Chains A and B, each alone.
Chain A
C-alpha cells in the first residue's frame, strides 16, 4: 500500500517506500494518524511496513540526551526494544513540534526536553500500539484486549506476528486523545540503568555528523572578521593581502557593518584570508568601558536603593530587624562575565535548492528563531525555508540566541552571493570567546540577621546586573512589572522558608551581549544563597545541614529539597571526611529539580587544594534514563566548578581580553577525582536535568574552602585567593 502524504516533503520518501504509519498530535492537540493526503499530520513516531520504527525527536541533541529519552518513551509504550527503534530530528515546524512550555515556538532550553515531551511522546507511542493491536485483532478475529506488543511482536490469543504486518491497516484507524498508557510496574526501559544512549555508537567511531561536518558540493567557507570592540562599524576594507591567499574568493562587508564576510574555497584559506584582510573601523559609537567600570557600576547599584522591590517587602522594617539582631552576617558577591565555549565552535551551512527554497543545516537549538529571521532575509514564506537539525557539539545556552545571531550572519553572507554555491559559516575558538554572548556580570549584597537562638529573623538581599531577557523576544513572558525573573530566580522562588526576606533588584546598563548560560540566573543566585546559608550556620555554631533543614519543612517543594540534602549528606559521609580533608555542601532547586552536592577537598590554601570527590543527590521526578541523568549531573558539576575555579571574560577598553582555551581554561580531567550521583526514587512527572546539577556545585566547593577560613565571594576562585593543586 502506498500512501500519499504530500503536506510535508520529508514524509514523501518514506511513504513512497511502502505503508507508513505516523502518529502524532495535530496543531489543535488532538491525536491523529495519517488517514489521507489531507490529514493534518504531526508525527512523533513513524513505522514502515517492514516494522522499522523511528521516533521523530523534536528536541536537538547537544549531549543532554533527548535522542535517547524521547525515543525511550515511544519504545516503552509501543512495545519495542531500544535496538528496534531509530530516531531522527524533527523538521522546523512550530505549529506541530513546538516546545509545549514555550508556546508556538520550537526550541530546546530551560531543561524542558523531557518535562514537555513526557506525556506527548508516551501518548504517541501508546496510540501506535493500540492501532496496531486493533488491526491485528480484526485480522485474527480475536479480542484486542487479549493482545499486546512486546519486543516488536504482536502476541496473544494464540497468535504472534511482527508489528510491521499490520501497519497498513492500522493507519486507517483514528488515534485517540487518551490511549491506555502502560502501567509503570510494567516498564522495561523507563527507569532502567542498563538503557544505553542511542547516539553513542556514531560518537565513538567518528561517523557522527555534527553541523561542522556538513560538506555540500561546491560549498564556500565563510568566516567573519568582526569588530574588536562591541558596536564598532566597518568603514573600509583592503583585501590586497587577502588576495594573495590561495583559495580566497572575496570579502564583503555585512549589511550591518559589524563585520566583513570572507569567502574562501576551504576553511584554512578562509582563516588565512581573514587574517590578511585589513579593515578600518569606526569605534566612535562602540563600547569602550572596561571590566572595572562595569563592576564599579554594579557595586554602586548594590549600595543604592534598588530599582525593583521584587517581593514587595517592607525593606526598612527588614533592615531594622537585621540591625537589631543578635548576630549579623554580611557579604558582597561579584560574578564575572562568562563565555559558554561549547566544544564545537558555532557554524551552519546554507544552500538554495533548484526550486528556490532555502535549506539551513544547523545544530539548531531554537529552529523557530532562524526560520523567522530567514523569512525576512530571503523574502520567502515559511514553507520555502527548511532547517535540517544536525548533532550539536554542546551549547550550554549558546546556540539559543533570541536574535539567531550566527544563523543570521550566515544568512546575510549567503544573500550577498548569487546563491549558486552553498555557504558554510565557520567560527573559530577566538570568535567564540571574543564575540560570544555572555553570562552577565552580577553583584549581590546580602545581610542576614539571626536571633540569640541562631534562627534567621531577617534576610536583606540586593541583586544588580544586566537583564538577560529585556529587549529580546522573550521579554513578554519572562519580565513582569519590570522584573526579569531570570535575574532573581533561585532567591525569589526559593523553597527555603526564610522569615523577613527583602529582595531588591537593579538592572545595570548594557555592557555587552548577554545570554542564558547553563542554569541561567541560578549560576549566581544558587551560589549566593548557599554560601550565605553556610556563613549563617557557622556564625551561630550550627551544622550546615541541620541549619538548612530548619527552613525546609511543610510544603512538598521544601521537603523534596530537604530530601536530597539529607540523601547527599548521607551518601557523601557528611561530617566524616577522610583524614586531612574538609567538606562543603550546597542544595538548590532549579528547573523543577532538586540537587544537593557534597564536595570533599584535600590540601590547603598555601599549597593548593584538590577536589577529591563530589557526591550528588538528585530528585528530578521519574528518572526516565537514570544513566543519562547521572551523566548530566556529572557534567553539570564539572561545568559549574570549572568556571568557578578559573574562568572569566574581561573587557579592556570595550575589547575582550581572552581569546582561546589557554586563557579561558576548561575544566581538566585531573580537577575532580571522583563524582558519585544518587537518584531519589520518585513517581512525580519528570523535570529538568541538563542544568540543575550546575547551581549547587560551585557553592559546595566554596563552602568546603570556607572550612580553610576563606569565604570566596568573588569569582573566579583562582583570582581570589585560591590555588588549585
Chain B
C-alpha cells in the first residue's frame, strides 16, 4: 500500500505492506539509521520515536496506523528545545558507552521531560524502566535526565 508519512517535518510517500513495523520503514526505506532495532517486541526501547510528540516503540507501531501523525526521530532532536537539552546533558556526563540504545533512551527521556519538567530520581526510574541498556549506563541516564531538567530550567 502507498502511505504518506510525515516524518521530521517532511512528507514522504512510501510503499509498504500493511503490518510493516514503522521501524523498518524508517531504517530500510528512509535510511534514517539513528532509530535502532534491539528486540522487535517492544521490550528494550532502542527503537523509540515520537508519534505526535509521545514516545512509542516503532517496532510495534504499524505503518497503517501512523498516516496523518507527525513522526519524529533522534535525527530531529537537536531542533527540539528539550531534545537539545537532553543531548547536551548526555555529552556533559558522557552517558554513552556502546551507544546503541542511546537514541531510544534520549527519545524516551524527552518524552518524560515534556510531561514532567522536574522529575525526581524515582520518577525518572519509573518512566525509563522499559529502556534497556546492556552496557548498564543507567546511573548516568538518570543523572542525565535530571541534568537536562536543570538546563531547561536555567
Contacts and interface: CB of A to CB of B under 8 A. Distances in A.
Nearest to B125: A670
Given A212-B36, A268-B24, A206 B74 contact: yes
B134 A196 contact: no
B125 A669 contact: yes
Given A429-B38, A669-B142, A63 B98 contact: yes
Interface string B85-109: 0010011001111111111001000
Contacts of B20: 268
Contacts of B94: 196-197, 200, 627-628, 631
Chain A, interface size category, equals 35 or more
A203 B33 contact: no
A631 B17 contact: no
Contacts of A661: 39, 41, 43-44, 132
Given A201-B91, A207-B34, A661-B41, A674 B139 contact: yes
A212 B139 contact: no
Contacts of B137: 631, 634-635
A505 B35 CA distance: 47
Nearest to B98: A63
B65 interface: no
A63 B28 contact: no
A396 B99 contact: no
Contacts of B43: 660-662
Nearest to B132: A666
Contacts of B103: 206
Given A200-B91, A429-B38, A669-B138, A631 B73 contact: no
Contact of B98 (A267, A342, A628, A673): A342
Contacts of B87: 204-205
A62 interface: yes
Contacts of B118: none
A634 B98 contact: no
B133 interface: yes
B122 to A, nearest CB: 8
Given A63-B97, A669-B125, A266 B44 contact: no
A468 interface: no
Contacts of A64: 97
A299 interface: no
B154 interface: no
B27 A267 contact: yes
Contact of A344 (B28, B77, B98): B98
B7 to A, nearest CB: 13
A200 B98 contact: no
A621 interface: no
B46 interface: yes
A391 B101 CA distance: 13
B75 to A, nearest CB: 5
A209 B41 contact: no
A63 B99 contact: yes
Interface string A622-655: 0000011001101101110010000000000000
A187 to B, nearest CB: 20
A204 B98 contact: no
A392 B140 CA distance: 20
A392 B100 CA distance: 8
Contact of B139 (A271, A392, A428, A634): A634
Interface in B24-53: 24, 27-29, 31-41, 43-44, 46
Nearest to A340: B134
Contact of A341 (B17, B37, B124, B134): B134
Interface in B106-130: 106, 121, 124-126, 128-129
B71 interface: no
Nearest to B17: A246
B132 A203 contact: no
Contacts of A628: 94
Contact of B96 (A199, A209, A266): A199
A429 B39 CA distance: 5
B131 to A, nearest CB: 7
Contacts of A391: 98-99
B133 to A, nearest CB: 7
Contacts of B73: 206
B58 to A, nearest CB: 12
Interface in A380-396: 391-394, 396
B78 A635 contact: no
Nearest to A426: B37
Given A207-B34, A213-B33, A343-B38, A637 B136 contact: yes
Given A206-B73, A635-B137, A661-B43, A267 B91 contact: no
B132 A343 contact: yes
B75 A206 contact: yes
B33 to A, nearest CB: 4
B134 A666 contact: yes
A662 B41 contact: yes
Contacts of A675: 139
Contacts of A153: none
A635 B129 contact: no
A392 B134 CA distance: 13
B131 A669 contact: yes
A62 B44 CA distance: 18
A639 B96 contact: no
Contact of A393 (B34, B75, B98, B121): B98
Residue among A206, A266, A341 with max Cβ neighbours from chain B (10 Å): A206
B96 A204 contact: yes
B98 A670 contact: no
Residue among A196, A203, A669 with max Cβ neighbours from chain B (10 Å): A669
B37 A639 contact: no
Residue among B132, B138, B140 with max Cβ neighbours from chain A (10 Å): B138
B71 to A, nearest CB: 14
Contacts of A673: 121
B74 A343 contact: no
A205 B78 contact: yes
B135 interface: yes
Contacts of B82: none
A639 B124 CA distance: 21
B55 interface: no
Given A63-B96, A343-B132, A343-B133, A670 B41 contact: no
B141 interface: yes
Contacts of B27: 267
Nearest to A245: B17
A237 interface: no
The 9 closest A-B pairs by CB, nearest first: A206-B34, A638-B136, A393-B100, A63-B97, A203-B99, A63-B98, A206-B74, A213-B33, A661-B43
Interface of B: 17, 20-21, 24, 27-29, 31-41, 43-44, 46, 73-75, 77-78, 87, 90-91, 94-103, 106, 121, 124-126, 128-129, 131-142
29 contacts: A63-B97, A63-B135, A197-B94, A200-B95, A204-B90, A204-B106, A210-B33, A210-B100, A266-B29, A267-B27, A267-B28, A268-B28, A341-B134, A342-B100, A343-B46, A343-B100, A343-B101, A343-B133, A393-B99, A396-B134, A627-B94, A631-B140, A634-B140, A635-B135, A637-B136, A660-B41, A661-B39, A669-B142, A672-B139
